[in-house]
Homo-oligomer: A and B are copies of this chain.
Amino acid sequence: MSASVVPACELCAGDGGEVLWQHPVFRVVLVDEADYPGFCRVICHEHVKEMTDLAPAQRTLMANAVWAVEAALREVMQPEKVNLATLGNMTPHVHWHVIPRFTDDRHFPSPVWAEPRRPADAASIAARRARLPQLREAVRRQLDAAGLTA
């Protein structure tokens, strides 16, 4: 365990989702969010609070991983929009949310953290969930194409 690992931090203690990709600096996980199939996170291995706590080359690596995941989501899920965010108010360990958004999702056009605007549409969600095998493959292919191999 490196000196920067903080056991009380959930992203130090666990993977934070189904790991799709491991890199020395970060991992990409598929999150189990019932209403948002395809929601991915790019999680820094090191327990740092802000992007500017990382060296510039590491920031660029993280950002390139976020763009690669965005590209995979666009290719497979064809969302209306992709939302990218690193907040960390509750878990101050750099992790990026990469979220495919659809006009019929629970919150659109609000952010997913706002009050829901409508119930989830079960048929739409099931159709999106059916694409997860392709998404897993596309995420790996895009990260590989971006040169983000371990």
Binding site for B on A (CB under 8 A): 49-52, 56, 59-60, 63-64, 66-67, 70-71, 74, 80-90, 92, 101, 108-111, 113-115
Q: How far is the CA of A81 from the CA of B85 in the complex (A)?
A: 13
Q: Are B82 and A85 in contact (CB under 8 A)?
A: no
Q: Are B87 and A111 in contact (CB under 8 A)?
A: yes
A88 / chain B contacts, CB cutoff of 8 Å? 81, 83
Q: Are A81 and B74 in contact (CB under 8 A)?
A: no
A60 / chain B contacts, CB cutoff of 8 Å? 60, 63
Q: Are B113 and A81 in contact (CB under 8 A)?
A: no
Q: How far is the CA of A63 from the CA of B86 in the complex (A)?
A: 13
